[in-house]
Amino acid sequence: MISVAKKQGRGHTTRSLVLGYAWPALAAVAVLAVTIATITGLTQRSSASAESAQHPKPLPVVTAPAPPLPSCPANATGKAIVVGLASQHMALCEDGRQISDVPVTTGSVDRGAGTPLGTWQIESHDVDRTLSGPGYTVFVHYWLHLFGDIGFHDSPWQKFPYGDTTKYRTQGSEGCIHVPGDQIKHLYEWAGDGTPVTITA
C-alpha cells in the first residue's frame, strides 16, 4: 500500500510539473496569436487605405440649372414673340398665352455678334433671299425682317442643335435668329408684319 501511494504521489507530481511548464507555453502561444491577428488587421487596414488613396471616390457632379424659358407678357392682346438668349428658345404668344415653344440659335456673343436686346416688330417678309454681310453670304428660304440686318430666317447649314445654350456663343449667327426648318414656315405664316418681338437676356 505504501509503495502504491508513493507511485501515485510521483504521478501527481509529474502531472503538476508538466502543467507547470505547459501554462507559460500556452500563454506564449496565445500572445503570439493575438500579435499575429493584430498585425494582420493593421496590414488589411493599411492595404484598404492605400487602395482608397489610389482609387478615390469620384466627386458628385453638380449640374447648373437650365436657364428659364421665355414667358409671354401677361394681359397682352394679339400676337407677340419673345426670344430668350440665355435659354436659346422662342415663345409664340397669343393674348398673353404661350401657344408654342421653339428652340432657336441667336448671335455668336463670343465673336462680338450677339443678338441685340430690346423690343421691335416684324417689318417685312420675304422668301428665297440671299443675305450678305461682312464675311458671309447665305441663301435662306424664309426671311422676317426686324431692323438693320437682323431678322428671323432658316439656317440649313447649321451643324449643332437649335436651343444649344453653349455652342451658339462661338458658332451662332451674325446677329439674326436662326429658326429650325420645320418651324420657320409656320412662323412666316403666323406672324404678320407689325407683330412685336421682344429679345431678352
Q: Over the stretch 135-179, which tens digit does the pLDDT of each residue have?
A: 899 999 999 999 999 999 999 999 999 999 999 999 999 999 999
As annotated, the active-site residues are 153, 176
Domain count within the chain: 1
Tens of pLDDT, residue by residue over 22-32, are 555 555 555 55
CA 111-200-162 angle, to 5 degrees, is: 60
Average pLDDT value over all residues in the chain: 83
In a domain, 12, yes or no: no
* 53 against 160, higher pLDDT: 160
Q: Residue 32's pLDDT is what?
A: 59
* 27 against 201, higher pLDDT: 201
In a domain, 6, yes or no: no
In a domain, 159, yes or no: yes
Q: All 3 cell numbers of residue 198?
A: 421682344
**Phi, psi at residue 11, to the nearest 5°?**
-65, -45
In a domain, 190, yes or no: yes
Evaluate if residue 63 carries a pLDDT over 80.
no
Residue 172 sits in a domain of what CATH number? 2.40.440.10
In a domain, 71, yes or no: no
Task: Please give the share of the chain, as a percent, with pLDDT higher than 90.
Answer: 63
Q: Residue 102's pLDDT is what?
A: 98
In a domain, 45, yes or no: no
In a domain, 20, yes or no: no
In a domain, 164, yes or no: yes
Query: Which residues form the domain of 157?
Result: 79-199
Core vs surface per residue 46-65: b (16+ CB within 10 A) or e: eeeeeeeeeeeeeeeeeeee
Strand partners, 92: 81, 100
What is the average pLDDT across 95-123? 97
